[in-house]
Amino acid sequence: MTDIKPTRSELIKLKNKIKLAKSGYKLLKKKRDGLILEFFEILKETKSVRQEMTEKYREAIKKINMARILDGDIVIKSVSMAIKDKPVIEVENKNLMGVVVPKINSRNVKKTLKTRGYGLVTTSAAINEASDAYEELLEYIILVAEIETAMIRLLEEIDKTKRRVNALEFEVIPKLEKTKSFIQLRLEELERETIFRSKRIKKKR
């Protein structure tokens, strides 16, 4: 170790490296904290929407059971086959604090009595109510899928950012600081040696 002769320029480069690492650490820490706050906001929203979806599901089950009692399974099946305009789901990307999350757009989920494709005369009000209930349920399912996927992506990014923050805090920066201390000590030793040698040369003269 004592044979190593570092230079002042190496020390300056190392100091700049430490400065950059510390700056990156601060930015990543801010990002991590921001992502965690965003995650808890979405988590709160997810719980609320999931609860509403569960209520919509229970309501839809009640409505379809009533339609089965009044109209029978054969009528319900033929009515479902009559629907022509199937729901269309389109997935886009949106940026949430630097994290790409899905934005789900849907069409033809909620229909009017006319666009359902079956005759109003041959069906009871119970079938229309069941259709309404299941269309509303599907809208909530799409919303939950969007929110929960965003939540998973945020969790993944939080975990990745956390690992980078820890690596900088406990590995990269301490190692750089240790190397800096060694170089500073070695340079001081070299300076003392140089001063001592120059004094000896002067004495000899």
DSSP output for 80-103: HHH--S--EEEEEEEEETTEEEEE
Q: Which two tokens stand for residue 66?
A: 């009533």
19: part of which helix (H) or strand (E)? helix 8-71
Higher pLDDT, 109 or 114: 109
| 123-172: pLDDT as tens digits | 788 988 998 999 999 999 999 999 999 999 999 999 999 999 999 999 99
| 76-112: pLDDT as tens digits | 888 888 777 778 888 999 998 889 999 988 877 887 7
Half-sphere exposure of 178 (CA within 13 A, CB side): 6
Range in 22-31, 54-63, 98-107 with the lowest mean pLDDT: 98-107
Rounded-to-5 percentages of helix, strand, coil across the chain: 75, 10, 15
Task: Give the pTM.
Answer: 0.76
Q: Using DSSP, state whether 152 is helix, strand or coil.
A: helix
User: Going from the N-terminus, what domains does the chain have, and what CATH number goes with each?
Assistant: 17-197 (1.10.287.3240)
The CA distances from residue 198 to 97, 128, 184, 194, 195, in Å, are 60, 102, 21, 6, 5
Does residue 19 carry a pLDDT above 80?
Answer: yes
Instruction: Report which of 138, 193, 151 is spatially closest to residue 42, judged by C-alpha positions.
Output: 151
